[in-house]
Copies of this chain bind each other. A is one copy, B any other.
Amino acid sequence: MMAAPIEFFFDFASPYGYVASHLIEAVGGRHGRAVIWKPYMMGAVFKIAGTGPLMDYPLKGAYAACDMARTCRLHGLPLTFADGFPHSTLAPARAFYWLADRDEGLAKRFALAAYDAYFGAGHNTGDPAVTGEIAAGLGLDAGEVLAAIQDPAIKVRLKAETDSAIERGIFGSPFFIVDGEPFWGADRLDQLERWLASGGW
């Protein structure tokens, strides 16, 4: 029997999700676990969880800016924010699921390229044209992707994925579940990996 996969929940406007996107496949690979990528709309959880965008908090927001930059430097990742960050992440999240239904590996490459565009190059998550350019960079037809993300079915799909994530208690990004155990934050990848290596404690 195959070992259960790692579920990787994230929002495309999450800098720590960006960090995790560059680390999680290697963690899975070292322990024989597939990784299922699951973007969701973290904005939908803020009201339920009584939280808000991290950077908006006094004190905590200033620290987070320092910590995100330091964490990215530690992992050799550039970090640039789009003007007016954060913006909507509907376009890349819908494009992801449309791609995932056709080719899961391609969808993951899209997600990584999207994160690099948003936080490496400082592009705007909310601009569908950027989603089209990311798709084109992977050899896809940008027009087809942009049409697909306007399809009511894909809108319903993303909403269902988001509702499902919230029902399962997910409130942040990145968030991982494996073997029923939840891990929140790029800084829980060490515990997640120990868990996989040891079978838990």
Contact = CB atoms under 8 A, between A and B. Distances in A.
A197 interface: no
B49 A60 contact: yes
A60 B191 contact: no
Nearest to A171: B59
A45 B67 CA distance: 20
Copies of chain A in the complex:
2
Contacts of A60: 49, 51, 171-172
A200 to B, nearest CB: 9
A51 B45 contact: no
A85 B60 CA distance: 24
A156 interface: no
Interface string A182-201: 10110110110010000001
Given A59-B45, A62-B169, A185-B187, A201 B74 contact: yes
Given A73-B201, A74-B201, 4 more contacts: A49-B58, A50-B52, A57-B171, A63-B182
9 contacts: A50-B52, A50-B58, A51-B60, A59-B166, A59-B170, A59-B171, A62-B169, A63-B171, A187-B187
